[in-house]
Chains A and B, each alone.
Chain A
Amino acid sequence: MTPRRVPLPSRNPSSASDPIEAALAQLHAAVREQLRGEQLTDRLTGLANNEALSEWLQEKVESGEDFWIAFVEVDRFKNVNDEFGYESANEFLRRLADRLSAASRDYFAAGALAFRAHGDEFYLAGPVNTSSFVEAELPAKLEHVRSDIAQIQVPVENASRPMRCTVSIGWLTSADSRATSDGCTQPAVRRQLEIAVSEAKHERDRVVRFTPEMHKPSQRDARGDCPSCRAKFTVTIPLGRERDGSLFCPNCGEPIERPRSVAP
């Protein structure tokens, strides 16, 4: 006896003959989208999370659009966490997120976004439209953000005083980042913001702009002339590997000696 062939269910909802199957497929797609959306959201605060920040930065670098970004880190957060407990600390982080969210709407007419990347690490970011915005408006607005956060008080049961914290803010523009020898890449921007916030944390409760002078390059450009084709070349070498392996001319492919001078 020849076995009867049973038709396989269609994967494409538009071509599905069974309306229940089509509805299930649509539901499945909606759930998948919802889950993807949740992957971009920080559960504690409802802000966009580190993954969303990575995507935003990546898009800005890809497109070459000018942007600014500020790294907001709570001062001595571990100490207050130990003193007041994690529940109060979490409440403080939620209120801080609310302030940043409000600041992104109220202080920045061109639009800004607030992110919580990890723990007590937050970011504010937005587009740069004019140089006067960067030189005058943005530093003043970030100062407002800093002082707004310093006003937050979380009452704590059985504590003699409410929980309060200050923040240190490091910030930069895409042009600041591009002016370094590393250029403006996503990892470079994050490193540069760390440098600026570390600088701010020396005294705490401060806002510091990253400058290329603070920058420690992770690689160097070696320049020279090819002995075979006479072309001038530039080769990028990671720091610490200046004397490893052989080099080849990017123009003709012939081996070249390592240039004597390795310029930053």
Chain B
Amino acid sequence: MASHRADFGTLLATGVVSLGLGMVAASSVQAENEARRSSFRMHLEQDLEGSGLALLDLTIGRTQRNAPFWNVTLKDHAGRLRTVRVELPLGADPYGHDSRTLLLRNSSLAA
């Protein structure tokens, strides 16, 4: 995963100076990243639906300590909106299984 992240910028830079070939390669990395993100979101959506919650928005961020967090905007069965920030441990993979479990638990409780 980390290599993909490094690759996108490098490939993009290559593409800018070499007639777009790097752009094409960067687009493949982007497609892979998008697939990973949408898979994570889809599973989370399904899990939250089980608790009667609709996932409206999911944004990743970093705290001052550089720990990852998710901002989750939810709508409950009564139509109320909530935005919950779920902070993950320092060094955690935001798209990992543990992250999804923590996100699900905190989102369900806070909504």
Query: A residues touching B (Cβ–Cβ < 8 Å)?
Result: 33-34, 36-41, 46-48, 52, 55-56, 58-65, 101, 104-105, 111, 113-114, 174, 177-179, 182-188, 219, 221, 235-238, 241, 244-245, 247-251, 253
How many angstroms from the CA of A173 to the CA of B85 in the assembled complex? 22
B56 within 8 A of A: no
> A52: nearest residue on chain B (CB-CB)?
B12
Of the residues B25, B27, B69, B109, contact of A183 by C-beta under 8 Å: B69
> A185: nearest residue on chain B (CB-CB)?
B61
> B34: nearest residue on chain A (CB-CB)?
A55
B20 within 8 A of A: yes
20 A-B residue pairs with Cβ-Cβ distance under 8 Å, sorted by A, are A33-B28, A36-B31, A37-B24, A40-B23, A40-B26, A41-B15, A41-B20, A48-B12, A59-B9, A62-B68, A63-B5, A114-B16, A183-B61, A183-B62, A184-B61, A184-B62, A186-B59, A248-B110, A250-B84, A250-B106
> A45: nearest residue on chain B (CB-CB)?
B16
- Size range of the interface on B? 35 or more
Q: Looking at chain A's contact residues, is the secondary structure mostly helix, strand, loop, or mixed? A: mixed
How many angstroms from the CA of A182 to the CA of B69 in the assembled complex? 11
Q: Which residues of A contact B2 (CB under 8 A)?
A: 63
Q: Which residues of A contact B16 (CB under 8 A)?
A: 46-48, 101, 113-114
Contact call A178/B9, Cβ cutoff below 8 A: no
Instruction: Give the Cβ gap from B32 to chain A, nearest Cβ, in Å.
Output: 11
Of the residues A40, A111, A183, contact of B63 by C-beta under 8 Å: A183
Q: Which residues of A contact B85 (CB under 8 A)?
A: 183, 219, 221, 236
Contact call A65/B5, Cβ cutoff below 8 A: yes
Instruction: Give the Cβ gap from B19 to chain A, nearest Cβ, in Å.
Output: 9
Q: Which residues of B contact A111 (CB under 8 A)?
A: 9-10, 13
Instruction: Give the Cβ gap from B90 to chain A, nearest Cβ, in Å.
Output: 9
How many angstroms from the CA of A46 to the CA of B13 in the assembled complex? 12
B60 within 8 A of A: yes
B82 within 8 A of A: yes
How many angstroms from the CA of A250 to the CA of B95 in the assembled complex? 21
How many angstroms from the CA of A168 to the CA of B85 in the assembled complex? 34
Of the residues B15, B26, B62, contact of A174 by C-beta under 8 Å: B62
> With A56-B9, A58-B60, A219-B83 given, can you name 5 additional A-B contacts, CB distance below 8 Å?
A52-B12, A62-B68, A182-B61, A186-B59, A219-B85
> A241: nearest residue on chain B (CB-CB)?
B81
Contact call B8/A34, Cβ cutoff below 8 A: no
Contact call B109/A249, Cβ cutoff below 8 A: yes
> A253: nearest residue on chain B (CB-CB)?
B109
Contact call A61/B33, Cβ cutoff below 8 A: no
How many angstroms from the CA of A176 to the CA of B2 in the assembled complex? 23
Instruction: Give the Cβ gap from B92 to chain A, nearest Cβ, in Å.
Output: 10
> B69: nearest residue on chain A (CB-CB)?
A183
> B36: nearest residue on chain A (CB-CB)?
A62
Contact call B69/A36, Cβ cutoff below 8 A: no
Instruction: Give the Cβ gap from A223 to chain B, nearest Cβ, in Å.
Output: 13
How many angstroms from the CA of A40 to the CA of B111 in the assembled complex? 38
Contact call A37/B110, Cβ cutoff below 8 A: no
